[in-house]
Homo-oligomer: A and B are copies of this chain.
Amino acid sequence: MPAAPDPQNLDELVTPALLVDQSGFRHNLTTMSAAKPGRTLRPHVKAFKSTDVARQLTQAGHGGLCCATIREIEGLVAAGVGDDLLLANEVLDARRLGALVDAGANITVAVDSTETIEAAAAGGVKRALIDVNVGLPRCGCAPSDAERLADTARTAGLEVRGVMGYEGHLMAVPDRAKQKRKVDESMALLLEAHAAVGGELVSAGGTGTFDLNDAATEIQAGSYLFMDTHYAKIDLPFVQCLSVLATVISVNRSGGWAVLDAGLKAFGMDHGDPTIHDGEVLFLSDEHTTWAPSDLTAVSIGDRVRIWPAHVDPTIAKHGVMWVHDGATIVDRWAVDLPWW
């Protein structure tokens, strides 16, 4: 099949297509970089899984990046993006990271147990953060156990750069004053651990707490670049700039609905259905969204409609490319090139 020419305009895109509004993205990037300049922000690559996006963050001064998968780290190293890469997650197959360290990459890994410390040391990783449970029932040691693990890590030959703790259970507290109090309580646990562990880093936070977390020396945030209908419920200075462009492929005038060609395979569905600003999303199938527009007489087959995801990270992960647009004009394309594991 001959390669199609690059689309110049939104109308030329095969749908469904993942869109990024350029001005919104730039607003989000610069707003966060002003609040958290340089190394006080460690952008989270899991949100977008793209070396093209990560490169823009390093160019904005954020040379320290964090990742959730080894594959993301491998891809950044292969692309030469970032000079201080944190795998903010526990892993046992640390030899994949050690191979990158052997080749000169600067990699730090989160550890929360003797087993993950031993795996890191045996795999050839040289630097670690002690991951502390600060209230989210997920990874992380008890604050009181952090000192023992730091000693274990140092004995195993690892440099312990500090602590990490993700207050993920507090990202979406709608009352920001209440959220601030809860973040402070959570971070008191992390600071207790840090006092025992030492090191220059207290790595924590996320898009929902970036401006409330005073304990962190660096904020781990990624979703702020794109936002979604879930984060939009919180009073944050970022705008939704990520949407999915879909085409009306069928209209049922007596039934009162239209059908769009973007479905479950184009959206992260764990936070519920995506949103269309006009009318109501009724349900999604694998490749369809059934939609009740407020005025169906104004809708025709072939119309193009923007759909707003409920959860940015797993939505982007379902696409191969983000189309960057200024109005109807396509100005760039960013590959989603860090898939899988």
Q: Which A residues are within 8 Å of any B CB, using their own CB? A: 1, 14-17, 46, 68-70, 74, 78, 89-93, 96, 99-100, 112-113, 115-116, 133, 137-140, 142, 168, 247, 249-252, 254-255, 257, 259, 261, 264-265, 268-270, 282-288, 290, 300-302, 311, 313-314, 317-320, 339-341
Instruction: Knowing that A69-B287, A116-B250 touch, tell me 14 more A-B residue pairs with CB under 8 angstroms.
Output: A15-B341, A92-B301, A115-B300, A116-B301, A137-B255, A138-B285, A139-B288, A264-B314, A265-B313, A268-B269, A269-B269, A269-B314, A270-B284, A318-B318
From known contacts A252-B137, A269-B269, A269-B270, infer whether A341 and B16 are also in contact, taking CB-CB under 8 Å: yes
CB distance from A101 to the nearest CB of B (A): 12
In the complex, residue of chain B having the shortest beta-carbon distance to the beta carbon of A70: B14
Contact of A302 among B115, B290, B339 (CB under 8 A): B115
User: How many copies of the chain does the oligomer comprise?
Assistant: 2
Contact of A270 among B69, B138, B261, B264 (CB under 8 A): B264
Contact present for B46 and A286 (CB under 8 Å): yes
Q: How far is the CA of A264 from the CA of B168 in the complex (A)?
A: 15
Contact present for A89 and B249 (CB under 8 Å): yes
Contact present for A138 and B168 (CB under 8 Å): no
Q: How far is the CA of A100 from the CA of B265 in the complex (A)?
A: 24
Chain B residues within 8 Å of A92, by CB: 247, 249, 301-302
Chain B residues within 8 Å of A290, by CB: 137-138
CB distance from A287 to the nearest CB of B (A): 4
CB distance from A204 to the nearest CB of B (A): 16
In the complex, residue of chain B having the shortest beta-carbon distance to the beta carbon of A268: B264
Chain B residues within 8 Å of A317, by CB: 265, 318
Q: How far is the CA of A317 from the CA of B320 in the complex (A)?
A: 12
Q: How far is the CA of A265 from the CA of B72 in the complex (A)?
A: 13
Chain B residues within 8 Å of A250, by CB: 90, 112-113, 116, 138-140
Chain B residues within 8 Å of A140, by CB: 250
Chain B residues within 8 Å of A257, by CB: 137
Contact present for A282 and B90 (CB under 8 Å): no
A–B Cβ pairs within 8 angstroms, 21 of them:
A1-B74, A1-B99, A14-B96, A46-B286, A69-B287, A89-B287, A91-B249, A92-B247, A92-B249, A92-B301, A113-B301, A133-B255, A137-B283, A138-B250, A139-B288, A264-B268, A264-B311, A269-B314, A270-B284, A318-B318, A320-B339
Chain B residues within 8 Å of A74, by CB: 1
Chain B residues within 8 Å of A115, by CB: 300-302
Q: How far is the CA of A270 from the CA of B263 in the complex (A)?
A: 11
Best-surrounded residue of A138, A255, A313 (most CB of chain B within 10 A)? A138
Chain B residues within 8 Å of A311, by CB: 264
Q: How far is the CA of A138 from the CA of B260 in the complex (A)?
A: 9
